[in-house]
Homo-oligomer: A and B are copies of this chain.
Amino acid sequence: MVRDLVIGMSDGLTVPFALAAGLTGAVAASKLIVTAGMAEIAAGSIAMGLGGYLAARGDAEHYAAEKKREQEEIVEKPHAERAEVAAVFRHYGLDEAQIEPILENFEKNEHAWVDFMMRFELGLEKPDPARGTISALTIGGAYVAGGLVPLAPYLFVADARAALPWSVVSTLLALLAFGYAKGRVSSGRPVRSALHTALIGGLAAAAAFGIARLIS
């Protein structure tokens, strides 16, 4: 959930901001920039939101398919599966005498055996069935909320060049605040995260500005 919020918000703040700033290098009317920006927000939020939904559904299907395969293999090829469990523990320095009781335990408890293989051999965790929908709404909503920050000044100031400074200042403040909050939650280094996030937005906007200038 936090990860989805971060994905949607960071791209939502950055790409519409960079597009608006870039177009300000090429066109004078705010209205056109609002049109392009709103089209971008619609496209970006849907593409990323649905992408997140399908990714979550894909994870759930992958988990279910792998679980079915493990369940079948435990019945059909118990020796190979025993060898796989033993390999996991041998890797951690256990000898055969220590591994044997673990194998016996799993043979009596196939449910635990399958669970163990899913987590420790394949590194898969059981996905939450509701995650796809929540993920789509979180990413898409965060993208829209983020994207409206850089566009708002263009809604109120008709001359794009006059709107740009307001857009730059409000978006940089939003990027710093968002980066700070992200850093507090994830890395514990909020100031560095704030500067990184603002730097990405600034670089993307500068590149978009330069390219739009170059073409027009």
Interface on A for B, CB 8 Å cutoff? 10-11, 14-15, 17-19, 22-23, 26-27, 31-32, 34-36, 38-40, 42-44, 46-48, 50-51, 54, 58, 61-62, 65, 89, 91-95, 97-98, 101-102, 105-106, 108-109, 112-113, 115-116, 119-120, 123, 125, 186-188, 196, 199-201, 203-205, 207-212, 215-216
Report the nearest B residue to A39, measured CB to CB: B22
Task: Give complex CA distance A142, B63 in Å.
Answer: 27
Q: Classify the secondary structure of A's interface with B.
A: helix
Q: Are A39 and B19 in contact (CB under 8 A)?
A: yes
Bound-state Cα–Cα, A61 to B74, Å: 37
A43 cross-chain contacts in B, Cβ below 8 A: 14-15, 17-19, 22, 204-205, 207-208
- Of B14, B97, B109, the residue contacting A47 (CB under 8 A) is B14
Would you mind naming 19 contact pairs between A and B with Cβ atoms under 8 Å apart? A11-B44, A14-B47, A15-B43, A18-B46, A22-B36, A27-B32, A36-B36, A36-B212, A38-B211, A43-B205, A44-B204, A46-B203, A47-B201, A50-B200, A50-B204, A62-B187, A92-B109, A92-B115, A95-B105
Q: Are A94 and B98 in contact (CB under 8 A)?
A: no
Tell which of A34, A98, A210 has the most Cβ of chain B within 10 Å: A98
Say yes or no: B125 contacts A112, CB within 8 Å: no
- Supply 19 further A-B pairs (C-beta < 8 A) apart from A38-B215, A92-B113, A93-B106: A10-B47, A11-B44, A11-B48, A11-B51, A14-B43, A18-B40, A18-B46, A19-B19, A19-B36, A23-B36, A27-B35, A31-B215, A35-B215, A39-B212, A43-B207, A43-B208, A92-B105, A92-B115, A119-B123
* Bound Cα distance A209, B95 (Å): 65
Closest to A89 in B: B102
Beyond A23-B39, A51-B10, is A58–B187 a contact (Cβ under 8 Å)? yes
* Complex contacts, A203 vs chain B, CB 8 Å: 46, 50
Rounded to whole angstroms, the CA-CA distance of A175 and B186 in the bound complex is: 34
